């Protein structure tokens, strides 16, 4: 994906913030070639985004507690695996102990430790929780740069479009179902949500 010019999206609560947000969305639309979208279309598009983020392939590592989850049932990870102080696991049991930079061959069997570059959880001070949130709560948390690692909407789009750990959700290895919505459809709806001004449900 061609890098889209970075935009500063200010909070709507600030003076002139709503105007800046929608002006930024209009510039984004022009720069990205995505058709303008209404607030209603943006809200509808975010429902596709929500369905992806709250799929087990995504939300199992975007957790409120200290232990990641496993499987479609969202069971607590075995082996007493923990987030750790930086999201890379506890001392002596780093994520990289079992998770390499790529999935193991299918010939190894189902449910082998999956892999992707930079396998980790969000750090404890920026947990980016996806589990158990309403659409509006998820949307507002996703946009909060204090909680999302300082990413504006442009950076978030780049992250979901090309980050290899994100892309793993569509190629999760033998014995796991991929995210049920195609990656192309997900990114298209993410763009539409951004172009609409990134609206959130109440």
What would the pLDDT profile of 33-60 be if each residue is shown by its tens digit? 688 999 999 999 999 999 999 999 999 9
Residue 195: C-alpha distances to residues 19, 102, 152 (Å): 14, 34, 13
Mean pLDDT score of the chain: 89
b/e per residue, 64-88, with b = 16+ CB within 10 A?
eeebbbbeeeeeeeeeebbbbeebe
pLDDT at 31: 53
Per-residue pLDDT reduced to its tens digit, 80-137: 999 999 999 999 999 999 999 999 999 999 999 999 999 999 999 999 999 999 999 9
- With a cut of 60, say whether residue 18 has pLDDT above it: no
Percent of the chain surpassing pLDDT 70 = 84
Res. 200: pLDDT tops 70 = yes
β partners of residue 89: 94
Report the pLDDT value the prediction gives residue 26, as an integer from 0 to 100.
54
Query: What is the model's pLDDT at position 173?
Result: 97
Whether 7 shows a pLDDT value over 70: the answer reads no
Give pTM, 2 decimals. 0.84
- Looking at residue 32, its pLDDT comes to 57
Asked if 199 contacts 42 with a C-beta cutoff of 8 angstroms, the reply is yes
* In contact, 63 and 84? CB cutoff 8 Å: no
Per-residue pLDDT at 34: 80
Q: What number of other Cβ atoms are within 10 A of residue 173's Cβ?
A: 20
């Amino acid at each position: 994906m061609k890098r889209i010019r970075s935009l500063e999206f200010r909070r709507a609560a600030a003076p002139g913030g709503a105007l800046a947000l929608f002006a930024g969305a209009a510039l984004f639309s022009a720069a990205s070639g995505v058709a303008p979208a209404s607030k209603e279309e943006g809200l509808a598009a975010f429902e596709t985004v929500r369905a992806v983020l709250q799929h087990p392939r995504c939300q199992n590592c975007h957790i409120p507690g200290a232990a990641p989850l496993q499987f479609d049932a969202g069971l607590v990870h075995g082996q007493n695996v923990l987030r750790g102080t930086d999201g890379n696991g506890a001392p002596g049991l780093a994520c990289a102990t079992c998770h390499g930079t790529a999935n193991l061959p299918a010939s190894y069997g189902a449910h082998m430790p999956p892999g992707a570059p930079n396998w980790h959880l969000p750090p404890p001070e920026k947990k980016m929780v996806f589990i158990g949130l309403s659409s509006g709560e998820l949307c507002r948390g996703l946009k909060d740069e204090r909680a999302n690692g300082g990413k504006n909407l442009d950076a978030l789009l780049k992250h979901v479009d090309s980050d290899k750990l994100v892309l793993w959700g569509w190629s999760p290895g033998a014995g796991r179902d991929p995210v049920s919505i195609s990656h192309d459809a997900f990114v298209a709806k993410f763009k539409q949500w951004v172009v609409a001004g990134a609206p959130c449900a109440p």
